[in-house]
Structure 1
């Protein structure tokens, strides 16, 4: 991490907040978008929960054509670093950076991927230009009101013909108290995210839903969560018994195999999108 880093946008030296450089720190005051107390709980369950593990494998598959030796990858909104650590293990010759608005989360990410360059940063103001070969944004855009602005910022931060890999929750009709407690502001339609990417200067190369084979089960679970409960613990739903977790993970492994073979699911709990920067 370069202590002498200067913002490409405002030209000033980046201060440190704790052990991390804070890029354009004045924008981090208006945070919102997540509950910081969830980071410790997430770090405890991500390694073992079927959804996080299956999503990591799907992201690694989508990123594989682009993370060649020396490629510079940046994850925007890395949270506790679970995805970043999976990619770093799978692609050890790539170069990794990551950003997160919450310094508390970066502490977990740093322990998981000590070689990565980590920055506290607001995704609505990215102080990089023509810097990254690949950017990943995994279940982050739905937390941010100004998602179209974030896409424009990412476009500037990518090199010519750079790639953007996104995952987002799908289907507005699936809205439940889990979305509310996770501080989501939307669930996406496939056409919506494609249109926003095109408007920001990207060409969509791949789109598929996932959590598709488990969608009926997910739908029934969300129906029971329609009534808001102030004591609801989002992370409690992630703590599953070993047998249940194993069956669900194997189901998602079958789904991932079908996606790798070329099947694109038109519905599911989440969307995976790969896009390329247009010059």
Structure 2
């Protein structure tokens, strides 16, 4: 990512509505996965470490990050073991295998997205799971994607095909950030059609607006645990190697 994006994230991801709301959704999703009590968890591409505390609630955390800017920021949080690494060919921690691997808004940065998934599957325990989030809809491409050095945004069909071709079976698959989708999509389309300069999505808003957006976004956690949402700014999947028993949903 652009160094400016890491600096922006480090300053905002503990407070900004998008990060806080997403963590609450992910916490609900992970709580529904049958992990052992002392689960071994890897976050592949942890950025500046904003998810580490949430993940540590479910077990012992390892994390990897390739950015020399983000890596010390993640380590400074003092949570888990954070090492330099890169997908798909430089995954650290020796032969350590994991019960859960979190790949949160990382695939879209990688040229070799399928190879990255295949490499991570090799680091899962036989009963392990992957939790994956990516930005949705190529037609929503914006300056935010450029700043973050995204290679692509995914359609649901593209992500499903990618996961299956990598050798994964899918237990949960849904859009999310759905409640705010009409507003966000409308703004981005208006900016494109009117050729307006786009403002960065991660500017900090006033406290009450930030709180309101957090609550609207995070409310989706209760819906996702029951059924798949049909549209949204992002996609979320829980998947595992083909031989892992189904979650039953």
> Fold match, TM over 0.5?
yes
- SS of the counterpart of 2:152? coil
TM-superposed deviation, 1:224: 4.2
CA distance in 2, matches of 1:105, 1:159: 28
Aligned counterpart, 1:4: none
Structure 1 runs of 4+ with >4 Å offset: 127-130
CA distance in 2, matches of 1:224, 1:243: 26
- SS of the counterpart of 1:159? strand
CA distance in 2, matches of 1:129, 1:224: 50
TM-superposed deviation, 1:228: 8.4
TM-superposed deviation, 1:221: 2.1
- Which has the larger Rg? 1
CA distance in 2, matches of 1:48, 1:115: 18
Q: Is residue 22–residue 218 contact of structure 2 (8 Å, CA) maintained in 1?
A: no
Aligned counterpart, 1:248: 213
User: Which moved further from structure 2: 70-79 or 37-46?
Assistant: 37-46
Q: Is residue 182–residue 234 contact of structure 1 (8 Å, CA) maintained in 2?
A: no
Q: Structure 2 length as normaliser, TM-score?
A: 0.89
**Which residue of 113, 129, 135 corresponds with 1:147?**
113
Alpha carbons of structure 1 residues 241 and 224: separation in structure 2 relative to 1, 3 Å: farther
Q: Structure 1 length as normaliser, TM-score?
A: 0.79
* Greater relative contact order, per chain length (Cα 8 Å cut-off, separation 6+): 2
Is 1:95 aligned with 2:60? yes
CA distance in 2, matches of 1:131, 1:49: 32
CA distance in 2, matches of 1:234, 1:129: 40
Instruction: Work out the number of aligned pairs and report it.
Output: 238
Aligned counterpart, 2:247: none
Aligned counterpart, 1:267: 231
Gap regions ≥5 residues in structure 1 = 1-33
Aligned counterpart, 1:217: 183
CA distance in 1, matches of 2:96, 2:241: 11
